[in-house]
Structure 1
């Protein structure tokens, strides 16, 4: 697939020079800081040295006073409390954190995860009925609930109170709960809006701890769960999230809670995790529990304090992940065949595929894979509980949620973010939705948005990459949305000898520029460029700089994102 190379606008030369002198760093690094809104020494110190004191006062969040008071009241009255959360990574980590914290201080509580297939996303009538039948009078909902107007109203008729902790976009009406914690509420003045669902749960527990004189360390030992949620829910790694991710990674890599320690073991790696490693190694295993079986398996693992017990639960989750991979590959192949067999589908600006026999638990993963292949807004649909359920993914710059709003007359329910969403509809609306979604996307997407883009932060001479440059660059981590690993452009580089093909389609080589050292490189999925790269013939590369760890040996490596031969 052809990709556009887009170089970010250069920062002001005088500003770059001033910051470089103040920090004694390479001007390219100063440019990276300025592009992140960091313009002076103090701001750089704040960025490079995350501190617990950078966390905001939790009581700045609208509804926090009421939430804490209601929890205190429930504990004082010995009410039964139900910790309720979504079945994905963000939801299960949130439940594990809030349940784990309060369980050490209060016995009369349980947790509840809705079944993906019989209850669907968010707060369910079945879940409320369970609470009513078992004497629960307070439900703390995590990573869901901001649009559950009717469900909260129903709970109120049963004298069940709700505290909602969500981070999704609000509708026009806020649920009639005792407290609704969501930094995206229009009336919420909380300084940081991009918390994960688990992050909002963390702020609730932080507020409770502050008001009740509980040491911060008792809460902070759950921060590895918050880091996992931040990574896997693809939220911005800026501001408060960056602080939580930074310390969460430290804990995960040095002293993870028992369940996470075992999860890392079954994933085949026990240290040196980055945000990306969490996404690719831990996230799929946690998700697999709810995709294939029951998400409560994930919570049981994450809250486990006994290694023998945790190892048994970790092995079960790993089996579920293997099963998930099989469904994933099979459905992806079927979907690609379906698209490839239809000239109409190939030439559309959107992709919508439907098979009533596909496994609902993996259609989100399949949607992501189809988006990678055809690079356009994509919806994968299957039958579920008499309806058609779908998972949608988007491309850079295109608001998928708004596109679904344009199709809302055909949908029973939908929700999500700019780049990922879920939806349900009546089976008889599928054909109409296929056409309407294509119509909406075609009218609103630009030609540029349909071509995958490599965003290049700066041009860099290879001779400038030395030990100091690499050490400072590493302090930009943790990397993720809003603070992606910088991508550099180096022109007129030369290959050392003959590049080799590793795996099915990856190039391994060493490159240099006149006057620079040789740098080892890996170019994933660039095998088609192999025949164009020849000794003595210059070419351009864009890449990120990373540390490669192989058999306990660490070395610097360029991860090639794009190759252009003359």
Structure 2
């Protein structure tokens, strides 16, 4: 892997103190002015008071909601089935359900297989049959591409208010109102819009809805900058002390006892369990877990989601192995795979794994008899949704973001789509983007790593896309001891030493997924390492350790 070290001048390094290092890290994140730096290091809830949506659209939406409540019409909150949609759906539904206006409001979570993604004709028909008197649908985390579906709802006498954050299609649906922002996640849009609903209806504050917005925002992997950073930072604090029975049960089944949750806990431990139901069974169980007030039911639902997630992990591992065998040793700028064995609930995860390993844009299709579902993931520098829209004339539908997207295609057209997408990729992708590059903030000596320095680093959290955890490099490092750890010896544990002005400074380091490097390490050689810094707490004691991102010989 190639490293791009932004600051590595040895003369400059000798003059760097903690204050200077922090200034470099801020500059590396494009934060140059004093105000930009203060806003970043001291995020404020005031940033969420800005106007995210078009004023006329908000006015139309609020008026229609008021009219529906007054006329006792049934309102359906139609959410997406992923963690961002489920948390956002919970926010909007609880806002209207718990209000003093007596709204007749019900949640609707689509079935991934029967209904498909987002607003669908089948979903609308189900709502008409199950919820008599429905006159208003409020979408959460989808709808911006549902031109035909919104038209169908209108033909059935149902108005649609769209709340979404996905990229605009060439033509917008003719919805009653569109509440949209690219600066927020789907749950973030729901949180801000619900605040406007509460203000309009004179409702009390929204419980711990900020914690749900943070959960969805982090789970959806949107850039944690600006308003998303505010939601994540303050919402995580609320999530850590939540009184929601369902989330507490989820924490217990995940063996998380931390008083301070991190984005890692949400992204890699909690959110996959919320997502698992929508992938393999039905995401309504996830919504029930978030909103239940019954402890026994919360425990049962949490255990159920845990079991479903284990099934999802096994299915994913098997499918990824299958896909890698198809790819073999082929070298191409683009991965496009379809197979009847792939479950459409995990094709996005398969594509993500392939993109991560081969560092290529990937499309994975769950092939069916007539219509097939596809999920795509991309690499930095290549907009996958723009590429997909260039072949949209032979797709049933498509939508998504620059880095993650999806589409439906008639099975008979899969090979045509493949050839045309390959041509788009060949024409538009730059070769420099196909080489994985590790962005390193600056070269650091071990002497600079201290408790005080780590406390300053923590102010950069929460980390995520748009605000990566600071990565450092150190050269001429010796390995004092090494061993492999974990199941199948897949991880690496090292005791490292670097000299500074005659002083020997040591740190323990862990390299997740680096166990295969063990046999090639030697105490007689020196190495360059790239790493992040974390605090490891065990049995009441805490110490700073390094989390390796890469390791190579010093002369490499």
Please report the TM-score for the alignment, with normalisation by the length of structure 2.
0.92
In structure 2, the residue matched to 1:111 is: 107
**Match among 428, 439, 443 for residue 423 of structure 2:** 439
In structure 2, the residue matched to 1:154 is: 152
**Match among 73, 96, 100 for residue 90 of structure 2:** 96
**Shift of the alpha carbon at 1:140?**
0.6
Q: Distance in 1 between matches of 2:7 and 2:381?
A: 17
Q: SS state of the match for residue 550, structure 2?
A: strand
CA contact (8 A) 2:482 2:493 kept: yes
**Shift of the alpha carbon at 1:210?**
2.5
CA contact (8 A) 2:83 2:274 kept: yes
Give runs of aligned pairs for residues 215-294 of structure 1, distance below 5 A.
215=204, 218-219=205-206, 221-271=208-258, 272-294=260-282
Q: 1:426 to 1:493 in 2, by over 3 A?
A: same
**Shift of the alpha carbon at 1:472?**
0.5
Say what the alpha-carbon RMSD is for the aligned residues: 2.2
Q: Distance in 2 between matches of 1:505 and 1:357?
A: 28
In structure 2, the residue matched to 1:167 is: 165
CA contact (8 A) 1:367 1:392 kept: yes
In structure 1, the residue matched to 2:312 is: 324
Q: Distance in 1 between matches of 2:222 and 2:438?
A: 20
CA contact (8 A) 2:534 2:546 kept: yes
In structure 1, the residue matched to 2:125 is: 129
**Shift of the alpha carbon at 1:81?**
0.5
Cα deviations across residues 516-539 of structure 1 (Å, max 9, x unaligned)?
Answer: 631111112223433443335321
Q: Distance in 1 between matches of 2:203 and 2:35?
A: 32
**Shift of the alpha carbon at 1:60?**
5.1
**Match among 452, 457, 469 for residue 473 of structure 1:** 457
CA contact (8 A) 2:481 2:496 kept: no
**Match among 349, 352, 364 for residue 368 of structure 1:** 352
CA contact (8 A) 1:68 1:204 kept: no
In structure 1, the residue matched to 2:497 is: 512
Q: Distance in 2 between matches of 1:447 and 1:203?
A: 41
CA contact (8 A) 2:68 2:136 kept: yes
In structure 2, the residue matched to 1:188 is: none
In structure 2, the residue matched to 1:47 is: 40
**Shift of the alpha carbon at 1:203?**
1.0
Cα deviations across residues 239-269 of structure 1 (Å, max 9, x unaligned)?
Answer: 1111110111111112252211111111221
Which stretches in structure 2 are left out of the alignment for 5+ residues?
none
CA contact (8 A) 1:83 1:110 kept: yes
Q: SS state of the match for residue 505, structure 2?
A: coil
**Shift of the alpha carbon at 1:79?**
1.4
**Shift of the alpha carbon at 1:295?**
0.9
Q: SS state of the match for residue 162, structure 2?
A: strand
Does residue 392 of structure 1 match 2:379?
A: no
Q: Distance in 2 between matches of 1:384 and 1:165?
A: 31
In structure 1, the residue matched to 2:294 is: 306
Q: 1:220 to 1:104 in 2, by over 3 A?
A: closer
**Match among 137, 140, 143 for residue 141 of structure 2:** 143
In structure 1, the residue matched to 2:193 is: 204
Q: Distance in 2 between matches of 1:428 and 1:88?
A: 29
CA contact (8 A) 1:80 1:135 kept: yes
**Shift of the alpha carbon at 1:502?**
1.5
Cα deviations across residues 73-114 of structure 1 (Å, max 9, x unaligned)?
Answer: 211222110000111111111111111222112351111111
Q: SS state of the match for residue 117, structure 1?
A: coil
Q: SS state of the match for residue 37, structure 2?
A: helix
Q: SS state of the match for residue 206, structure 2?
A: helix
Give the length in aligned residue pairs: 540
Does residue 4 of structure 1 match 2:23?
A: no
Q: SS state of the match for residue 358, structure 1?
A: coil
Q: Distance in 2 between matches of 1:10 and 1:205?
A: 47
CA contact (8 A) 1:58 1:204 kept: no
CA contact (8 A) 2:69 2:103 kept: no
CA contact (8 A) 1:356 1:383 kept: yes
In structure 1, the residue matched to 2:406 is: 422
**Shift of the alpha carbon at 1:471?**
0.3
Q: Distance in 2 between matches of 1:80 and 1:406?
A: 39
> After the TM superposition, which of the residue ranges 49-58 and 461-470 deviates more from structure 2?
49-58
Q: 1:384 to 1:304 in 2, by over 3 A?
A: farther
**Shift of the alpha carbon at 1:59?**
6.9
CA contact (8 A) 2:210 2:235 kept: yes
Q: Distance in 1 between matches of 2:65 and 2:437?
A: 48
Q: 1:408 to 1:123 in 2, by over 3 A?
A: same
CA contact (8 A) 1:253 1:270 kept: no
Which stretches in structure 1 are left out of the alignment for 5+ residues?
184-192
Q: SS state of the match for residue 469, structure 1?
A: helix
Q: Distance in 1 between matches of 2:433 and 2:74?
A: 50
Q: Distance in 2 between matches of 1:27 and 1:251?
A: 32
Q: Distance in 2 between matches of 1:52 and 1:303?
A: 25
> After the TM superposition, which of the residue ranges 523-532 and 65-74 deviates more from structure 2?
523-532
CA contact (8 A) 2:18 2:448 kept: no
**Shift of the alpha carbon at 1:384?**
4.2
In structure 2, the residue matched to 1:500 is: 483
